[in-house]
Structure 1
């Protein structure tokens, strides 16, 4: 059966009588994290060889044997399969036709919607199929806040919004950055925007921010340098597109406020999170170069960039570099209209 987003945490915390949990989608870090949660719900000690078996490949020939093996120390067993695929469908179907208390946890990043394995899991009442896709916006902020709450750490809203805007689409990378904040703040601590910036100042997100600001003030050389640095640090083209889109939306909100009569300074102060004081000059310069209509057009082109980067076989790196160049060129064009 398919599991909706509201029920995921409960299912992973208490698998109950489930026989198999399939974790599929694009976020490999989230898939791995949820697989670990499901496995530890049954066997808290994952290094227990009598209760936990980890298979690095499909290993269909071992599945039935492991499902019906008995734990010498008692308790339910877990079979944790990484890189699962359709070759598991037949042996899993056979296993499900017989009684067993073993839970099979399958990581299957990139599994097609019409795959035989996914169809089997979604149709079976004792199985759960959970989609794992990159979080963004409020969902991402909620996840970050929850990770920090678990460590008794509070974070200011402005700091949370800025931090979320700097992160890429992978859950493992997000958790790594959150762990930096945990070490920085200490249990019971509180994080301000300045704290967060100081803590992750060397993260790839700063390179993305450099690229966005440079492109929107027409600094082609600076934008190219920043984007190459971000790519060298492992930032995905999709993360680049999202960072650019976030920056363009902030510029557009401020530009609309200015068109409505606000001063540039007031329009910038009203943004949440506020413009970092070291970036105010560049942000203000961009506002003087861009019109509301051009910002809207650039945002639509950036959305198209993200869509194109998701296409199989797309030259995503080339598309990102070309888009950065286009933004920088547009910023240098004479202003006309709104």
Structure 2
């Protein structure tokens, strides 16, 4: 069964009893882990119970497919329903999981965590179509969801508009990272209730999200030297090439939204005000310039190229770092005023 976004909160609290296996997937790894933990809590009072919570890696099942059935059927010492978590699954496990869903063993709840799965993914299709399974996507927090997380993590704080805008612009790609950065900010404030922009910059200014944003803006303005420097920093920090490509895609998608509104007759200022989260004010001059310079068709071609190169990164034909760097430099050259 395919769980629609509006149904996800209630499903996480009370999963459909027919669902023997639940797949949680998406590019937001932090949200995937958070939702898996919520599902574990619907079965176990103690989420770390060593007798009722078992974990397997995808490689374990690939080596021995029978182990999945054995672990699912095993009874816990002391009784009670068990949870079996399967990590880092992909389409290569579809046949094994199809066999399991056709004739489930035991009564354990099987929880699977996966990265981004396209609509063509055989694993995703299996879980969306099966009556005794469910698929839950995690595509990153919306502006409204990010607002709620900020409110929860900084409960009771008086956050200035500039500080809130900075948080909305720089967090949200990964929920786990978002919560960690907000916890760090709360510790930095040490009980102070008034949170200002300098406080936020001082606390999370070294976040990798800033470097990713530097890359995206450098690509958009065709600044090759700045791009090469920012790419070097991200590689030293261990940020994945796919994350870099996705951050750049997000930047160009926002440019596409603004440019589309402009070509339908809106003025630039009105189009910019429609963005959620809003552009951080210090980035606004650069974003305005890029929105004026890039044509809608050129932005569309960039988005297509970034999507295609992400697929190539996953194919293993060339090192992902090489593909990422070449792609962004190619776009930067194109974006230096010739689009």
- Fold match (TM-score > 0.5): yes
| Structure 2 gaps, min length 5 | 318-322
- CA distance 1:168–1:142, shift in 2 (3 Å): closer
Partners of 1:165 and 1:243 within 8 A in 2: no
Cα distance in 2, alignment partners of residues 101 and 162 from structure 1: 47
Aligned residue in 2 for 1:318? 326
Aligned residue in 2 for 1:46? 47
- CA distance 1:65–1:240, shift in 2 (3 Å): closer
- CA distance 1:79–1:174, shift in 2 (3 Å): same
Cα distance in 2, alignment partners of residues 21 and 220 from structure 1: 44
Aligned residue in 2 for 1:11? 11
Superposition deviation, residue 157 in structure 1: 5.3
Is 1:199 aligned to 2:203, yes or no? yes
CA displacement 1:283-329 (0-9 Å, x = unmatched) = 49x84xx78354656644543343333333482331112222333x3
Superposition deviation, residue 49 in structure 1: 2.0
- CA distance 1:75–1:200, shift in 2 (3 Å): same
Aligned equivalent of 1:71, options 58, 67, 76:
76
Structural mapping, 1:17-56, within 5 Å: 17=17, 18-56=19-57
Partners of 2:167 and 2:200 within 8 A in 1: yes
Structural mapping, 1:71-220, within 5 Å: 71-84=76-89, 85-86=93-94, 87-95=96-104, 100-110=106-116, 113=119, 118-132=124-138, 134-135=139-140, 139-153=141-155, 155-156=159-160, 158-167=162-171, 169-185=173-189, 189=193, 191-211=195-215, 219-220=223-224
Q: Which structure has the greater CA radius of gyration?
A: 1
Aligned residue in 2 for 1:336? none
Superposition deviation, residue 38 in structure 1: 0.9
Cα distance in 2, alignment partners of residues 2 and 190 from structure 1: 43
Superposition deviation, residue 152 in structure 1: 4.5
SS of match in other structure, 2:2: coil
Cα distance in 1, alignment partners of residues 175 and 73 from structure 2: 33
TM-score by length of 2: 0.72
Cα distance in 2, alignment partners of residues 104 and 77 from structure 1: 9
Aligned residue in 2 for 1:227? 231
| Structure 1 gaps, min length 5 | 334-338
Superposition deviation, residue 103 in structure 1: 1.2
Superposition deviation, residue 110 in structure 1: 5.0
Cα distance in 2, alignment partners of residues 70 and 6 from structure 1: 35
- CA distance 1:6–1:158, shift in 2 (3 Å): farther
SS of match in other structure, 2:6: helix
Cα distance in 2, alignment partners of residues 270 and 106 from structure 1: 37
- CA distance 1:302–1:159, shift in 2 (3 Å): farther
Is 1:237 aligned to 2:244, yes or no? yes
Partners of 1:309 and 1:316 within 8 A in 2: yes
Aligned residue in 2 for 1:60? 65
Cα distance in 2, alignment partners of residues 69 and 105 from structure 1: 16
Superposition deviation, residue 8 in structure 1: 1.3
CA displacement 1:239-258 (0-9 Å, x = unmatched) = 441464378579979x99xx
